[in-house]
Amino acid sequence: MSVLAVSRRSIDVWVRPGESWIHWFMGCGAAGTCFGGQAHKDVNHTKVWCEALAGIECLGDRKFLRGNVPCIRYTGHYFVTTLLYSFFLGCFAVDRFCLGHTGTAVGKMLTLGGLGIWWFVDLVLLITGGLMPNDGSNWCTVY
């Protein structure tokens, strides 16, 4: 099995053939799932117009069409807000209601967070990325 060496800021990274180094560069993990838990090939793509920044010399046009840009959906779910909801109001299932997991939220609320166990598990799931918005959207990053 051969490998391809890719260097970023003098750190050597070994990428197997068939895996994209850009996923490592973006911090998406080995599976390449950084688009709402989906792989790059599973999301819709579009073409966008780009323009070179001032001070950059171009051989061609300063405006150009770039294709194969993933369409990432944001629907107003903020990670920090949801984490705070989970920490302070998790026993009342406010975090799961906000994320759209209504069925499990009712069960969590009726058991008061599974007597603390479900509350703790949801905190771990949120931090590790196992609990995401129900509609498949990404976390909003700018407040």
Looking at the structure, do residues 65 and 42 belong to the same domain, yes or no?
Answer: yes
Looking at residue 25, its pLDDT comes to: 47
Looking at residue 128, its pLDDT comes to: 87
- Number of separate domains in the chain: 2
Looking at the structure, do residues 58 and 85 belong to the same domain, yes or no?
Answer: no
Looking at residue 39, its pLDDT comes to: 67
What domain range is 108 assigned to? Answer: 76-140
Looking at the structure, do residues 66 and 84 belong to the same domain, yes or no?
Answer: no
Distance, CA of 22 to CA of 79 (rounded, Å): 24
Distances (CA, A) of 42 to 47, 104, 143: 16, 27, 27
Contact predicate 119/102, CB 8 Å: no
> For each successive 10 residues of the chain (143 residues), what is the average pLDDT?
38 46 48 58 80 87 84 80 92 92 92 90 89 82 65
Looking at the structure, do residues 10 and 53 belong to the same domain, yes or no?
Answer: yes
For the chain, the straight-line distance linking the first and the last C-alpha, in angstroms and rounded, comes to: 45
Radius of gyration of the chain (CA): 20
Looking at residue 78, its pLDDT comes to: 84
Looking at residue 65, its pLDDT comes to: 87
Distance, CA of 102 to CA of 82 (rounded, Å): 15
